[in-house]
């Protein structure tokens, strides 16, 4: 029951956020909404939806490492390690000193298992320790 409630909450949040995002585009500030929609969809298992949102975010913010890191996570969740490596390489190309400690510090999950899953897929893609 708890899992369905959490999943429903994520789905509702993603849907409401997406509806809001479509009403405020093309404001530069609204591109973070694309990032968060991608993030929510990734945890819901909607890799295609997550990728679409992240690609919009990256197109609007090509120098920001966050979009590429989340794209690497999405690919890692789907078992596409080579795609995850390419996305991670894009992030590292923009911020050479990025490492697991920085990722841990910027991802505040209530559930430590989620954070470890993110770290594991980024580690598999080659994120430095």
Question: According to the model, what pLDDT value does residue 111 have?
Answer: 86
Question: Per-residue confidence at 90, pLDDT binned at 50, 70, 90?
Answer: very high
Domains of the chain: 2-125 (1.25.40.10)
Q: Average per-residue pLDDT in the chain?
A: 83
Q: Who contacts 53 (Cβ-Cβ below 8 Å, separation ≥6)?
A: 34, 35, 37, 38, 41
Gap between the Cα atoms of 124 and 56, Å rounded: 25
Question: Per-residue confidence at 11, pLDDT binned at 50, 70, 90?
Answer: low
pLDDT at 23 > cutoff 80: no
Gap between the Cα atoms of 78 and 100, Å rounded: 20
pTM: 0.76
């Amino acid at each position: 029951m708890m899992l369905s409630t959490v999943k429903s909450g994520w789905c509702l949040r993603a849907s409401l956020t997406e509806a809001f995002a479509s009403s405020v585009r093309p404001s530069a500030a609204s591109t973070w909404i694309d990032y968060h929609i991608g993030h929510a969809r990734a945890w819901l298992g909607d890799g295609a939806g997550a990728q679409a949102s992240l690609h919009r975010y990256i197109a609007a913010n090509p120098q920001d490492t966050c979009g590429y890191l989340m794209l690497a996570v999405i690919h890692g969740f789907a078992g596409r390690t080579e795609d995850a490596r390419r996305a991670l390489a894009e992030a590292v190309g923009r911020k050479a000193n990025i490492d697991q400690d920085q990722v841990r510090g910027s991802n505040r999950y209530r559930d430590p298992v989620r954070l470890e899953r993110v770290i594991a897929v980024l580690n598999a893609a080659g994120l430095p320790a």
